[in-house]
Amino acid sequence: MTATPQQLADVLRPVKHVLLDFDGPVCSVFAGLPAPEVARRLREGLFATGEQAPAGAAEETDPLALLRLVSNARPDLAASADAALAALESEAVRVGRPTPGGESVLAACVRFGRAVSVVSNNASAAIDAYLSAHRLSGYVAGVFGRTAGDPSSMKPNPRLLLEPMAAAGTQPAECVFIGDATRDVEAGNAARVPTIGYANKPGKQEKLASAGAVVTVDSMQLPPLLPW
Ligand SMILES: [Mg+2]
């Protein structure tokens, strides 16, 4: 069930540092350049005609899953695959769709003196490009994208959450993570940070809740509910 305003306020009240997933809570990265098209272009750029791609690569339509698959099967390609995907993500965000309420959450955090760090499996360069194009960079204390060439850095690994907490000197109990995937909740659990599940598609609410999200919401239009 979507959190009541009271439940959400209870979760947010002690928070000094908001960790915010990018694809979903801030924008829909692949709304204009669809993920399967990005995966296809990534694959075609990496594997010349006739060259054998790793098992499963031909069918993979999720660009980040494809990056992980290729990097695991062909470590020699990990760096070039990451760079190629980062370029495609940067192209995608130019035609990405802002999430209603996402910008207001960023602005409200800053207005009320809460730090915001973006924590994402996407490439930092693409995130920076989006934030800059939408004049949002000033709201964000830091951008923590996947480590280039190292897909093991991606959530559900908690590393991308631990880095901004170390940079800001904040403890898990002073933080909240807002994400829209079960891997986000798993990363939050591993970092001991409570996760608000953003259920932006039918069926996600149950998945996020059973993964351990402390509350779930079905909209990013939170500012009227912020307790600060
Ligand atoms: Mg996401």
- What would the two tokens of residue 150 be? 């190292």
Is 66:89 a contact under the CB 8 Å cutoff? no
Is 185:206 a contact under the CB 8 Å cutoff? no
- In this structure, how many other beta carbons lie within 10 angstroms of the beta carbon of residue 52? 7
Taking only the tens place, the pLDDT of each residue in 70-108 is 999 999 999 999 999 999 999 999 999 999 999 999 999
Task: Express as a percent the part of the chain with pLDDT over 90.
Answer: 93
Q: Which residues contact 82 (CB under 8 A, 6 or more apart)?
A: 67, 71, 123, 146, 148, 149, 151
Q: What is the CATH number of domain 5-28+98-225?
A: 3.40.50.1000
pLDDT category of residue 68 using cuts at 50, 70 and 90: very high
Span from the CA of 48 to the centroid of ligand 1 (angstroms): 31
Span from the CA of 228 to the centroid of ligand 1 (angstroms): 25
| Residue 216, beta-bridge partner list | 2, 197
Span from the CA of 27 to the centroid of ligand 1 (angstroms): 9
Span from the CA of 49 to the centroid of ligand 1 (angstroms): 32
Taking only the tens place, the pLDDT of each residue in 118-127 is 999 999 999 9
Span from the CA of 50 to the centroid of ligand 1 (angstroms): 34
Q: What is the DSSP string of 182-223?
A: HHHHHHHHHHT--EEEE--STTHHHHHHHHT-SEEES-S--G
In angstroms and rounded to an integer, the radius of gyration of the C-alpha atoms of the chain is 17
On the question of pLDDT at 114 being above 90, the answer is: yes
| Residue 119, beta-bridge partner list | 144
Among residues 28, 34, 35, 33, the alpha carbon closest in space to that of 66 is found at 35
On the question of pLDDT at 228 being above 90, the answer is: no
**Considering the entire predicted model, what is its pTM?**
0.96
Is 125:90 a contact under the CB 8 Å cutoff? yes
- What would the two tokens of residue 110 be? 């800053």
Span from the CA of 46 to the centroid of ligand 1 (angstroms): 25
Say which DSSP state 175 is in: E
pLDDT of residue 212: 98
pLDDT of residue 76: 95
Query: Which element (helix H / strand E) includes 40?
Result: helix 35-46
- What would the two tokens of residue 28 be? 């829909």
What residue ranges do the domains of the chain occupy? 5-28+98-225, 35-94
- What would the two tokens of residue 16 be? 């000094």
On the question of pLDDT at 32 being above 90, the answer is: yes
- In this structure, how many other beta carbons lie within 10 angstroms of the beta carbon of residue 33? 17
